[in-house]
Structures are given as structure tokens and as C-alpha cells.
Amino acid sequence: MVRVSNGKSLPLSMRLYLTVDTLHMQKQEMCPLDPNALDGNENEPGENEIRIVKIVRDEKTGLGLSIKGGAEHCLPIMISQIFKDQAADKTGKLFVGDAIIKVNGEMIVHCTHDEAVNILKNAGDLIMLTVKYYRAATPFLKKDENDKSNGESKPLCGKTNCVTNSLTLSKKWVDVTVVPLTMGYVSRYIFGSDKLRPNGFEVYGLNGVKSGIIYCDTPVILSQWLKYISDNISALIQLEIRMFNRFCSAAERIEFMGWVQEGTKQLSAEVNVWNSYEPKFFAIKGSEVYFFITPPVKPEDWSECECSFKMYESQLKIIKESDVCDERQHCLLFTSIGSVVKYLSVETRQELLKMESSWNTALCSAVRRLKEVKYTVNVGKPRMPAEFRIDWNYGYSLHDTQTNECIWKYRYSQLKGSSDDGISSLKLLFRDEKTGGIETRELESSSLELILYNMLAFTGSKFSLVDTKYTHPII
């Protein structure tokens, strides 16, 4: 039991009920007893009870069940028929009306009918089904089954009861609000601010539904609910990533998706403190970084992003706790070409570390696919045009633009320092491998900002492969 408020009135006592993909805020009411609840098999499981059932495939007859539903019908994958004396029937633990949530641990709640059939067919001989029983769907599924067999609707199996005309009332938990967790997020902050609620949180759904402010009696209960809900949201996002990646090439795979809060308004131009935050959906796909106002749910939605950036022309830095701008925790700074600066925060440290790890993995893949970048620069006195190259396999080199002859080249490990004037001049310090001395190379380019971003991307990615503990500098 928790207390739930809309932020304007006093909190009301409610029950939280968490499923794989929804969060229910429920209150208890006196309701008429459902006559259909009196009919059925006495061995049927409880309503909405989640169970894990082991089923052994028969070589000749397979699983011995039929399914209906699918994402294209906006329905879960339901068991519509169980064949007598076959594999599903022999378990004694599967029923018409069971929704299949997972197959061998893989969630299929958003699969189409054909995808679910393929997953079940290729799941092996020993299959673990995670199922949830929906009593209300059973009469319709059994009616369809009987209609197919002889065109007539037969009585439901199991014992029957007579119901009188007198109204029977019973206490029942009734949904007040149901928040879908797919692409949703949880926040302890007062919306749009950097102020933490000491004992409450709010859940936001993709369709604009909000849970209201949920208050817990103790910090332990609060942390448990936050973990349970966040874990479900994370699992659903991973499922969405897998679904998208089925239709993507290796170069366009999604590495990360999740919500961030972006600082949108500063108190003053002189003080880097944010007093307003907006939720943004952040994604890393192929070589691109995307910011959305609403998450992409279809392939064509990726073209509707608010903005996107090339990874090797951007930086993502974790901000040390001592250097954060306000009361927000777990903050990052995103910068890109053209003086783009985004101050971001996430809800937990786990999200922060996962975001950083995904960034480094995706950046390394993006740079390896890019292989090499070239820039026209001016060197020497008087200034002469040349071509500065950053190569994934070797490192840094300077080439004559007319003859393509290499003037100098160094490996990544030889770069010991750099400085620039923020306009066009760049000074690079390399260690000579033979003498151990420092050699200075000076360049001038109108693409200075782009050169610096690419140097960081190539160098950081190269070192992260050699040193698995390598991370980009923390500011």
C-alpha cells in the first residue's frame, strides 16, 4: 500500500500492482460479483497470476497448443487451444486464456503473431514459458475453439453454478490509473526542476498517462519500488532495441535508448545554473546520436527526431559530483560541432554508467567504419597547403597535397599533448621514438573544431580497445 496524489489534493491510500509492462494504481470498491467467475475449472490459476511452466516438445505433435493475438491486433499472444494428451496438456499447468509473456526468458509481449510462432517453433525441445492467466478472455477463446469444431457453442468445461437474480456484492481492487511502462520513465524529481522528492516518485507513460505522485512510508520501500519499476522499463526498452535491430544492418544497429532530462533555461548568462528541465528521449543508432521529444516506436519515426549529431563530431562527458551545476545528480555534458551544448541528467548512477559504456562502444564502431578523415591545412613559413590525416590503423600524418608524399607521421601513443587558439591554430606535441625528445608540429585550418572532435574520437576509441578500463576524460 502507498499514498498517491495528483500534486494538488491530499494523498489517497492505494495499492500498487506491477506487471511486466504496466503499473496499476488501484483502490478497493464494492462491486457486483461476476457470474462468469463462478464457472470454470477448479484447477485454474488466479487472475493475472504469473507462472513459469516447463514444457517438453513432442517429436511428432510439437507443443500441442494453438495461439491467437499479436502486436498487429493490439493483443497479447494468447493460448487459444490445448490438444488433449499432447505436450501442453501433459504439463497440467497451461490453460486456455494464458497469455505467453516470455519464451525461454525472451519477452514476446510486443511480437506479431508470426514472430511469436517462429520463436515457439525454434525454442528447442525443452521450453520455459512465462504465462499470465486472463479469465475474462477464456470464454471467447473457448467459444472460437468450439465454433471451429462443429459450428456450435458448447458449455464451458468444469462445474456450473446457478446465479439468482439477487445482487451479490464483493470487495474488489479497481484500477484508478494504468501506466504503460514501454518507453516510460520514473523520476523522483519535481517535474521540470532539480528538487528531489524525499519519499516519493512519479511514473510517466508513453501515451501521456502519469501515475501521480506515489509516496512510500520508508526509504526501503521507496528504493524497492523504484528498482522493480525501473528494471521492468529497462527490460522493455531492451526488447524494443532487439525488435528494431532485427531489421537493421550492422552499421545501423541501436546501441542505447533511454530518457534524459535536459536543462533548458539558465538563471543568468553568467551563472551556469539551470532552473528548468525537459524530458528528452536519447538514442545512439549507428554513427548518430538522436534527441526525441517522444520516443520512436516505428522505423519511420527516426526521421522525426528533434535533432541528431555524428558521434565522431561530438563528445559526451560525465560531470563529477563536485562540479554539477545545481541539485541534479548523475549529470552529463553533451557537446558537438557548432557550439552545441546540452546539459543532461539521468535518474540513477547505473543509467549514467550504462549510457557512458554504450557511447564508448558505439563510438569505437563508428570510427572503425569511418577508417580515415582528411583535412586541408596550412603549415610552415610561409604557409603552404598540406593534407592532415587521422587514420584508424596508424595514427596521425601530414601529406603533400600535390605529390601525396608523407611529410611526417606518428602513432596515437606518440601524441603527448596539444594546444590551440580556439580559432584556427593547432599545436601538436609528439614524442620521437628514437631520441625520446618532443617534436612540435603546428597546423592552421578553418576546420579546427572538427579536427579536435575527430582527434578525440579516434584517439579515445583506439585506447579503449587496448585498455578496457579506459574512459574519456571526466570534466
- Of 125-134, 309-318, 357-366, which gets the smallest average pLDDT? 125-134
Q: With bands split at pLDDT 50, 70 and 90, how would you rate the model's confidence at 246? A: confident
pLDDT of residue 31: 57
**More confident call, 192 vs 307:** 307
d(C-alpha 428, C-alpha 426), whole Å? 7
Mean pLDDT, range 316-344, rounded to an integer: 90
Q: Is it the case that residue 325 has pLDDT exceeding 90?
A: no
Q: How many residues are given for the chain?
A: 475
Q: Which of 262-266, 273-277, 368-372 has the highest mean pLDDT?
A: 368-372
pLDDT of residue 10: 84
Task: Kindly report the number of other CB atoms within 10 A of residue 32's CB atom.
Answer: 10
Q: With bands split at pLDDT 50, 70 and 90, how would you rate the model's confidence at 154? A: very low
| DSSP 8-state secondary structure symbol assigned to residue 273 | -
Q: Is it the case that residue 153 has pLDDT exceeding 60?
A: no
Can you say whether the dihedral through the CA atoms of 303, 305, 309, 315 is positive or negative?
Answer: negative
Percent of the chain with pLDDT over 70: 84
d(C-alpha 175, C-alpha 376), whole Å? 65
Mean pLDDT, range 47-70, rounded to an integer: 86
Q: With bands split at pLDDT 50, 70 and 90, how would you rate the model's confidence at 467? A: very low
Q: With bands split at pLDDT 50, 70 and 90, how would you rate the model's confidence at 167? A: very low
The model scores a pTM over 0.75: no
Q: Is it the case that residue 144 has pLDDT exceeding 60?
A: no
380 phi and psi angles, rounded to 5 deg = 75, 180
Mean pLDDT value across the chain? 84
Task: Kindly report the number of other CB atoms within 10 A of residue 384's CB atom.
Answer: 11
d(C-alpha 465, C-alpha 327), whole Å? 35
pLDDT of residue 140: 66
Helix axes 349-370, 448-466, angle to 10 degrees: 110
**Residue 377: which H helix or E strand, with range?**
strand 372-379
pLDDT of residue 83: 92
Contact between residue 199 and residue 274 where contact means Cβ atoms under 8 Å apart: no
Q: With bands split at pLDDT 50, 70 and 90, how would you rate the model's confidence at 247? A: confident
Q: With bands split at pLDDT 50, 70 and 90, how would you rate the model's confidence at 321? A: confident
pLDDT of residue 474: 32
Mean pLDDT, range 340-359, rounded to an integer: 92
Alpha helices in 38-152 (DSSP H): 87-91, 113-121, 138-150
Q: Is it the case that residue 309 has pLDDT exceeding 80?
A: yes
Q: With bands split at pLDDT 50, 70 and 90, how would you rate the model's confidence at 381? A: confident
Q: Is it the case that residue 308 has pLDDT exceeding 90?
A: yes
pLDDT of residue 299: 86
Longest dimension (CA), the chain: 104
pLDDT of residue 475: 29
Q: Is it the case that residue 34 has pLDDT exceeding 60?
A: no
d(C-alpha 16, C-alpha 229), whole Å? 11
Contact between residue 254 and residue 222 where contact means Cβ atoms under 8 Å apart: no
Q: Is it the case that residue 272 has pLDDT exceeding 60?
A: no
Contact between residue 244 and residue 256 where contact means Cβ atoms under 8 Å apart: no
Can you say whether the dihedral through the CA atoms of 401, 405, 408, 414 is positive or negative?
Answer: positive
Q: Is it the case that residue 348 has pLDDT exceeding 50?
A: yes
- Of 68-82, 203-217, 323-337, 458-472, which gets the smallest average pLDDT? 458-472
Q: What's the Cα-to-Cα distance from 386 to each of 362, 404, 451, rounded to whole Å?
A: 31, 9, 14
pLDDT of residue 105: 80
- Of 94-108, 397-411, 433-447, which gets the smallest average pLDDT? 94-108
pLDDT of residue 292: 96
Q: Is it the case that residue 152 has pLDDT exceeding 60?
A: no
d(C-alpha 335, C-alpha 310), whole Å? 11
**More confident call, 344 vs 110:** 344
Q: What's the Cα-to-Cα distance from 410 to each of 139, 141, 439, rounded to whole Å?
A: 74, 71, 10
Mean pLDDT, range 28-49, rounded to an integer: 58
Nearest to 20 by CA among 48, 62, 60: 48
pLDDT of residue 443: 94
The three cell numbers locating residue 51: 507462472
Residue with cell 572532435: 453
Contact between residue 364 and residue 287 where contact means Cβ atoms under 8 Å apart: no
pLDDT of residue 274: 53
Report the chain's terminal Cα–Cα distance, integer Å. Answer: 43
The three cell numbers locating residue 7: 500534486
Mean pLDDT, range 425-429, rounded to an integer: 95
The amino acid present at 360, given as its one-letter code, is N
